[in-house]
């Protein structure tokens, strides 16, 4: 009997863990229902396009600051996950945010990241743009992430998710909009410094995040979790649903 109870407990625990993992990685929008960003974004500038001059000059700026404190920050910004987002944005918010203190916000950001990842796959494959380090045959700040065949520079996914997180956190803590969006901006520019993206990739990533955020606002599940995270952040309990009493 004890063996049966133990086995049952382990099975339930395993299923619960699997379900929580699935929930954390479940996008708010199915890939086929996500905005087709390639129908919105213009093509990235080619090598002989006058707009590419800005990409090249920004790349040179990135090279010039790699050995500075800003360059160290750019390397740190390359390793994105929800824990890092909370750590990176906390200093400019009303109070620190952590998974333990803000589980609803953690889940919201996890799922938003999953949504971004599935939403930009189509446009990256469509434009298939060579990355700066591949084009110029120069090392990056994050050599462990380099790949000779990863042609997915446009738009920048790191920038897209950082800007999306910034917009979500602004909706939760509007009093610190400037500080939050400044961090989101810096995280995008870090990709230029690291040598993984052109400036036009960064700008397209911000446009893409704005489009995705607007689309997410039409999803009841996203809006519900966003409101729960806002109440949680402000130390307010979510209102309980009213129970209708039966009339006798």
- Written as six digits, the tokens of 20 are 């929580």
List 111, 113, 158, 230, catalytic entry: 158
- CB-side neighbour CA atoms (13 Å) of 104: 21
Nearest to 207, CA basis, from 120, 135, 121: 120
Based on the residue annotation, tell me whether 145 is a catalytic residue of this protein.
no
The residue behind tokens 């997915």 is 152
List 88, 197, 206, 230, catalytic entry: 197
In whole angstroms, give the CA distance from residue 89 to residue 184. Answer: 8
List 88, 129, 191, 206, catalytic entry: 191
Based on the residue annotation, tell me whether 176 is a catalytic residue of this protein.
no
Cβ atoms within 10 Å, residue 208:
27
Based on the residue annotation, tell me whether 23 is a catalytic residue of this protein.
no
Sequence-ordered strand ranges (E) for the chain: none
Classify the phi-psi angles of 106: left when phi > 0, otherwise alpha if psi is within -120 to 50, otherwise beta: alpha
In whole angstroms, give the CA distance from residue 76 to residue 158. Answer: 12
In whole angstroms, give the CA distance from residue 133 to residue 139. Answer: 6
Based on the residue annotation, tell me whether 158 is a catalytic residue of this protein.
yes
- How far apart are the two ends of the chain, measured CA to CA in Å? 45
Q: Is 65 exposed, middle or buried (0-12, 13-18, 19+ CB in 10 A)?
A: middle
Catalytic residues: 158, 191, 197, 201
């Amino acid at each position: 009997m004890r063996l049966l109870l133990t086995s049952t407990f382990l099975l339930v625990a395993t299923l619960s863990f699997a379900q929580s993992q699935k929930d954390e990685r479940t996008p708010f929008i199915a890939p086929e229902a996500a905005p087709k960003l390639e129908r919105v974004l213009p093509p990235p500038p080619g090598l002989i396009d006058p707009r590419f001059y800005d990409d090249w000059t920004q790349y040179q700026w990135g090279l010039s600051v790699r050995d500075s404190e800003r360059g160290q920050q750019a390397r740190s910004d390359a390793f994105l996950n929800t824990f890092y987002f909370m750590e990176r944005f906390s200093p400019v918010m009303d109070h620190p945010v952590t998974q333990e203190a803000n589980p609803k916000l953690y889940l919201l950001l996890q799922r938003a990241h999953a949504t971004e990842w599935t939403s930009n796959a189509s446009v990256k494959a469509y434009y298939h743009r060579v990355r700066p380090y591949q084009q110029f045959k120069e090392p990056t700040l994050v050599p462990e992430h380099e790949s000779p065949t990863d042609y997915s520079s446009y738009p920048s996914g790191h920038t897209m998710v950082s800007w999306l997180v910034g917009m979500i956190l602004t909706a939760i803590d509007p009093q610190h909009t400037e500080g939050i969006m400044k961090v989101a901006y810096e995280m995008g520019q870090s990709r230029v410094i690291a040598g993984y993206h052109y400036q036009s990739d960064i700008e397209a990533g911000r446009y893409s995040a704005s489009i995705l955020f607007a689309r997410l606002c039409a999803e009841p599940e996203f809006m519900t979790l966003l409101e729960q995270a806002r109440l949680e952040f402000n130390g307010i309990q979510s209102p309980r649903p009213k129970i209708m009493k039966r009339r006798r």
